Amino acid sequence: MCLESCILTGPLQSWTQVPLFNLENKPLSRTDEKIIFSDYNGVLEPKILEGNENLSEEQSKELEHSLRAICENPKNHVWIISRKPIFEIGPKWGGIKNLNIIGESGGTYWDPVTSKVRLFEHADWGLETMKKKIAEFPMALPHKEAYFLEEGLATYAISYPKETDMTKYVTELRKFLEKDFSFIDIEDRPAGLVVNMIPKSLKKELFVMKKLEEVPNANFGMVIGDSKPDEGMFALMNKHQMLSVRVNSFEMETQAKHILDSVAEVHALLKRIEESDKAIIP
C-alpha cells in the first residue's frame, strides 16, 4: 500500500488509494509538498485490529514503517484523523516528526511539546458555554460521573450504569438545549452518553455548514461525533485552520474523482469566506 501519494479514508476494510489534489485541483507531483490524510481506525495500533481480516499485525507494522519513513521527509506533512480518543494515541504517536494527530471533528490536536490535547484556536466553539448550559439542566443526572472531552466542537460525555433507561433523559435534554444550540447530536455509546452541539451564536460555522450543503453533487456536512462505517472523511485545510468535512455513504472506487471535484469547490468557498467574512456571512 503506497502512502506517499494517496488519501486513506473510510473503514480499513475498504481503504482505497486516491491521488492527492492540491487546492487548485491539480494532481500533486512527487516533488510537491504532500499532505496525507488518514482516517485513524487502528492502523498504528495492532490491538485495535482484532476482528479485522484485511489487515494483519504484520501488515500493520509494515504500514507503520512506511508512515515513519514518509514523516522523515520534511516535504511531507501527515495528518491522522483520530477516531480513537486523541489523548490515548497522542503519547505514543505524537512524537513522530511531521506527523500531526487531530481529533475527528478537526477541533483538537496532540501537542508533543506539552504532551497534552490542545484546541485549534478556531475550534474553541462554545465549550465553556456548553459546560455552563449542561450545569443548568434541572433533571437529575442518572449517573455517578460526568466528564468533558475537549475533543472536537463541544462534547459532553456522561457515564451511567448500563441498565439505566436514558430515553426520557435524552428527550428532555434535547428540548432544554434547543433554545441555545442550532445543532444537537446525542449518541448513546458504550462509553456513555455523548452530546455534541453548536451554539446559535456561531454564525460563521453555521453559515459554512449551510454552504457546504449547497455544493452540487455531494453530500457534505461538518463532522459531529463519530463517523459511521459507510462514511468517508476529508479534512480541509484553510490556511492554519482545519475544517473536517464528512462525505456520507459513498464508494471511493466509483466516486473518487467526483468527490475530489466537490472538495475543490469547498476549498474555493472557504477561501471566499475567509477573504470577506462580513460581506458574505449574514
Q: Residues 33, 157: one domain?
A: no
The contacts found for 276-282 with CB under 8 angstroms, 24 or more apart, are 277/204, 280/207, 281/203, 281/204, 281/207, 282/203, 282/207
Q: Residues 245, 169: one domain?
A: no
Here the cell at position 149 is 472531552
| Domain count for the chain | 2
Q: Residues 108, 23: one domain?
A: yes
Here the cell at position 220 is 457534505
Domain membership of residue 3 (yes or no) is no
- Considering the entire predicted model, what is its pTM? 0.38
Domain membership of residue 5 (yes or no) is no
DSSP state of 13: G
Q: Residues 46, 65: one domain?
A: yes
Q: Residues 139, 59: one domain?
A: no
Q: Residues 154, 227: one domain?
A: no
Domain membership of residue 28 (yes or no) is yes
Which of 199, 220, 240 is the last residue in one of the domains?
Answer: 199
Phi, psi (deg, nearest 5) at residue 134:
-60, -40
Tens digit of pLDDT at every position of the chain (282 positions): 222 222 333 332 222 222 333 323 333 333 333 334 443 333 333 232 223 334 456 655 665 666 666 666 665 555 555 555 555 556 666 666 666 665 544 445 566 666 666 554 334 444 555 666 777 777 766 554 454 444 334 455 566 666 777 788 888 888 888 877 766 777 766 556 666 666 565 555 555 555 555 554 443 333 333 333 333 333 333 322 333 333 333 333 333 344 445 555 555 655 665 565 554 445
Which of 199, 220, 255 is the last residue in one of the domains?
Answer: 199
Here the cell at position 223 is 463532522
Domain membership of residue 79 (yes or no) is yes
Q: Is 79 helix (H, G, I), strand (E, B) or coil?
A: strand
Q: How many CB atoms lie within 10 A of CB 144?
A: 8
Report pLDDT for 154: 47
Name the H helices within 143-251. Answer: 167-177, 203-213
Q: Residues 23, 81: one domain?
A: yes
Domain membership of residue 7 (yes or no) is no
Domain membership of residue 1 (yes or no) is no
The DSSP-derived string for 228-252 is: PTT-EEEEEEETTEEEEEEE-S--H
Domain membership of residue 189 (yes or no) is yes
DSSP state of 8: B
Which of 199, 218, 234 is the last residue in one of the domains?
Answer: 199
Q: Residues 118, 29: one domain?
A: yes
Q: What gap in Å lies between CA 65 and CA 206, rounded to an integer?
A: 40
The contacts found for 10-13 with CB under 8 angstroms, 24 or more apart, are 10/39, 10/231, 10/232, 10/233, 10/252, 11/39, 11/41, 11/229, 12/41, 12/42, 12/43, 12/49, 12/52, 12/54, 12/55, 13/52, 13/53, 13/54
Q: What gap in Å lies between CA 89 and CA 47, rounded to an integer?
A: 12
Contacts (Cβ under 8 Å, ≥6 apart) of 271:
238
Q: Residues 222, 159: one domain?
A: no
What's the half-sphere exposure (Cβ side, CA atoms, 13 Å) at 128?
Answer: 2
> Which domain covers residue 158, as residue numbers?
127-199
Q: Residues 219, 79: one domain?
A: yes
Contacts (Cβ under 8 Å, ≥6 apart) of 238:
267, 270, 271, 274
Domain membership of residue 2 (yes or no) is no
Here the cell at position 8 is 486513506
Residue found under cell 484523523: 81
Q: Residues 36, 101: one domain?
A: yes
- The helix (run of H) or strand (run of E) holding residue 133 is helix 127-136
Q: Residues 55, 38: one domain?
A: yes
